[in-house]
Structure 1
Amino acid sequence: MTGNSIILAVDRNQRNLELLAQFLNKEGYQTIGASSFEEVAQAIGEPARIGMALVDISGFDRRIWDCCEQLRNHQIPFLILSPKQSAAIQHESLSRGARSMLVKPLIVKDLLCIVHSLLGEPA
């Protein structure tokens, strides 16, 4: 793990956010959780080095794509977590700058591979 890489976890569901943070912390990553658009904007605006973001689009309205644009504008690589496989969601995700998309339920091995890749770490 890179010492200065913080993962921004974005999820409307507070319990899912806690579980994701616990999992990532156990893997040695520091996380910042955000469950609202305001919290995302605040996290991006802080001087802490965010290495990447995991964005679960469940429960958010279309403004979640604006948050994705903010991440792209700040050159923060991000992964979209989707509740279902959808060509439309995949197209929207990639057009907004997502590096990849995973469909829930998450496969831990796949998630970790993408996290390592986005943070520039060996797998």
Structure 2
Amino acid sequence: MTGNSIILAVDRNQRNLQLLAQFLNKEGYQMLAASSFEDVARAIGQPAKIGMALVDISGFDSQIWECCEQLRNHQIPFLILSPKQSAAIGHESFSRGARSILVKPLIVRDLLSVVHSLLGESA
């Protein structure tokens, strides 16, 4: 693991953020939670180095794609977490700069594999 990498988790659901934090902390990662667009903008503006972002699009309106654009503009690699498999979501995600998409419910092994990849770590 790269010691200073922080994972930004974007999710409307506070319980999901808590579960992600527990899981990522157990794996040795630091997580920064964002449940609104303002939280994301604030996180991006901090001096702390965000290594990657996990963006759960559930519960957000179409502004979530602007949030993804901000991540891309700040060169923060990100993964989309989607409630369903959809060609439209896939197209929108990749056109906005997503590196990967995982469909919920998440498979821990797959999530860790993508996290390692986006942070430039060997699995």
1:55-70 correspondence to structure 2 within 5 Å: 55-70=55-70
1:28 alignment partner in structure 2: 28
CA–CA separation in structure 2 for the residues paired with 1:46 and 1:23: 23
Alignment match, 2:101: 101
Q: 1:71 is matched by which residue type in structure 2?
A: L
**Root-mean-square deviation over aligned CA pairs:** 0.3
Q: Which runs of 5+ in 1 are unaligned?
A: none
**Percent of residue pairs bearing the same amino acid type:** 85
Q: TM-score under structure 2 normalisation?
A: 0.99
**2:10 & 2:22 partners in 1: Cα distance?**
14
- Residue deviations 1:59-107 (CA, integer Å, cap 9, x gap): 0000000000000000000000000000000000000000000000000
- In the TM superposition, 1:83-102 aligns within 5 A as 83-102=83-102
Name the residue aligned to 1:46.
46
**TM-score calculated relative to the size of structure 1:** 0.99
Gaps of 5+ in 2: none
- Which residue does the alignment assign to 2:16? 16
Q: What is the CA–CA distance in structure 1 between the aligned matches of 2:65 and 2:44, rounded to whole Å?
A: 15
Q: How many residues align?
A: 123
